[in-house]
């Protein structure tokens, strides 16, 4: 059974969604992060994927006050990413209450540091976040291409790496369906890695297709906020 992980993207402490990672294409939602997290938890979704978009843009965590409030919700597990550039950032996020830290740009720009963090904190707490256009990994809040292929990035951290979140940027926030072929290729190439699919989920059919393909986890964002997928559907499925 695939694990569905709802997403909360933050700008200025508010729940927002971007289209294709473009900060100029932002939709702000009325619900507070805490209210959204409580609704997820009430429907049996214990894990939440939170992206600090301010942090991603500025290069340092910027919404730790929100993380602190979310961490007070009993039973909620938080994976947190955005602006994680060094060990101090990782420590701050973990100490503030996150269960796991997602590292993206750091892994590309400073792979030795990322490997060290994997060894120090363990692969259950340090997750690789790979944002891709096609197969090229993007960095710095999705604003720059790295010239690195996703397979090469994952391979460089084996065997320590255990989990990777792969977001297809061109589909993110577009509700157009996922890049299923990419995820199937990655699972075939890296059978020992737990893969989380992200980007493009627009319906329960998309989730069912990923589940049928054997994808372990999927992140769902805009489809929930826009009512394309109901929390009750996920809870009953």
pLDDT at residue 236, as a whole number: 76
**Active-site amino acid positions:** 9, 131
Domains within the chain, CATH numbers bracketed: 3-236 (3.20.20.70)
pLDDT tens by residue, 45-103: 999 999 999 998 888 999 999 999 999 999 999 999 999 999 999 999 999 999 999 99
pLDDT tens by residue, 160-191: 999 999 999 888 777 888 999 999 999 999 99
| pTM attached to this predicted model | 0.92
Is residue 26 scored above 60 in pLDDT? Answer: no
pLDDT tens by residue, 205-229: 999 999 999 999 999 999 998 899 9
- Cα pseudo-dihedral 20, 153, 6, 92, rounded to 10: -110
pLDDT at residue 47, as a whole number: 98
| Strand 22-28 versus strand 14-19 pairing type | antiparallel
């Amino acid at each position: 059974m695939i694990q569905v992980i709802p997403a909360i993207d933050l700008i200025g402490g508010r729940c927002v969604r971007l289209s294709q990672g473009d900060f100029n294409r932002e939709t702000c939602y009325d619900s507070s992060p805490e209210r959204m997290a409580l609704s997820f938890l009430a429907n049996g979704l214990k894990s939440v994927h939170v992206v600090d978009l301010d942090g991603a843009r500025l290069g340092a965590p910027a919404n730790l006050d929100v993380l602190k409030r979310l961490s007070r919700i009993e039973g909620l597990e938080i994976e947190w990413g955005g602006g994680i550039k060094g060990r101090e950032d990782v420590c701050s996020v973990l100490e503030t209450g996150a269960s796991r830290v997602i590292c993206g740009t750091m892994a590309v720009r400073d792979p030795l540091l990322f490997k060290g963090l994997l060894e120090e904190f363990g692969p259950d707490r340090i997750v690789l976040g790979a944002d891709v256009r096609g197969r090229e990994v993007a960095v710095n809040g999705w604003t720059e291409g790295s010239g690195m292929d996703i397979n090469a990035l994952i391979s460089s951290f084996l065997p320590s790496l255990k989990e990777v979140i792969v977001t297809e940027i061109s589909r993110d926030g577009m509700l157009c369906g996922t890049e299923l072929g990419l995820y199937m290729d990655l699972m075939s190439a890296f059978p020992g890695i737990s893969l989380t699919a992200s980007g493009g989920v627009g319906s329960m059919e998309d989730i069912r297709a990923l589940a049928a393909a054997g994808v372990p986890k999927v992140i769902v964002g805009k489809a929930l906020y826009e009512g394309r997928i109901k929390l009750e559907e996920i809870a009953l499925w």
